[in-house]
Amino acid sequence: MNPQARNFALRVIVVAAILLSLGEFFGTGLVTPILPTIAWEIETVDDSFRVDSIDVVSKKNNTVIQLKVAQIRPMIIGDHVLQPKSIRFFEPNVLVGSVLQPIIVFLAILLSWQTKSYLSILIRLLLGVPVAVVLVATNTPLAFVGAMWDFRELVPNLEPHTLVYWNDFLQTGGPLVMAIASALLVVSVADRLTSYQPGNRQASPPVN
């Protein structure tokens, strides 16, 4: 293996291990403030649902985000129509660690990528804030909606809701792919910004 690539891989492993340890201790505190935003996004993306409660709870020795969601509009599922009922609730959950995982990978790459100045790291982190928000917004809330629309086991030959396919993507490594691609994009943009020197541009020849 190329020595530069090996050193980068080692830095990523070390930084990711540190971030994972911090996530283990502070995961609940980091996730809890964004729960109302997750609930809002679920209701905005699909007005068939109303989030009655969303909490971080312990479940079978795991810390999860637990939802209780009421259906408030009819859901068309193939040739069937599922009418709202006051006694029907969806109760999906997701591990807190799975919410933090893509952010940890994203930050590990940003902090581990070789740089010649602290300014470059600062720019990476500043650019990384909105990108991290997008990673969270396209992960957990949409996964919840996709899971609540997934009736493939109950209805044969069902053409699923679009977000069911998106949830399949998220469940098969999608967040990590998005995190890696986003980190490489941010690193590239940050490096271009720090290496840009307007004074080095060649003057255009005079026009007669």
The 3-state secondary structure of 58-113, one letter per residue: EECCEEEEEEEEEECCCEEECCEEECCCCCCEECCEEEHHHHHHHHHHHHHHHHHC
Mean pLDDT of 23-32: 90
Residue among 114, 111, 103, 108 nearest 5 (CA): 114
Q: What is the mean pLDDT of residues 77-84?
A: 85
pLDDT band at 205 (very low <50, low <70, confident <90, very high): low
pLDDT-above-70 percentage for the chain? 93
Residue 39 resides in a domain: yes
Query: Which residue has tokens 């291990």?
Result: 17
Which residue reads 């709870």 in tokens?
A: 57
pLDDT for 198 equals: 63
199's CB contacts (< 8 A; 6+ apart) are: none
Give yes or no for residue 202 having a pLDDT over 60.
Answer: no
The amino acid occupying position 80 is H
Residue 84: inside a domain, yes or no? no
Long-range CB pairs of 10-18 (<8 Å, 24+ gap) are: 11/111, 11/112, 12/108, 12/109, 12/112, 14/112, 15/107, 15/108, 15/111, 15/112, 16/104, 16/105, 16/108
DSSP annotation of 32: G
The domain total for the chain is 1
Q: Which domain holds residue 116?
A: 3-45+100-196
| pLDDT above 90: residue 106 | yes
Mean pLDDT within 53-58: 94
pLDDT classification of 201: cutoffs 50, 70, 90: low
Does residue 116 register a pLDDT over 80? no
Q: CB neighbours (10 Å) of residue 131? A: 19
> Is residue 155 one of the residues assigned to a domain?
yes
Residue 132 lies in a domain: yes
Mean pLDDT of 184-194: 90
Tell me, what amino acid is at 86? Answer: S
pLDDT reading at 4 higher than 50? yes
Predicted local distance difference test score (pLDDT) of residue 88: 84
Please report whether residue 74 resides in a domain: no
- Average pLDDT of the residues of the chain: 88
pLDDT category of residue 207 using cuts at 50, 70 and 90: very low
> For 10-31, what is the mean pLDDT?
91
User: Does 168 score more than 50 pLDDT?
Assistant: yes
Instruction: Establish if 71 belongs to a structural domain.
Output: no
pLDDT classification of 208: cutoffs 50, 70, 90 = very low
Contact 49, 72 (CB under 8 A): yes
Which among 107, 129, 103, 136 has a CA at the least distance from the CA of 37?
A: 136
Residue 40 domain flag: yes
Quickly count: other Cβ atoms within 10 Å of residue 12's Cβ: 17
Quote the DSSP letter at residue 205.
P
Domain-located, residue 53: no
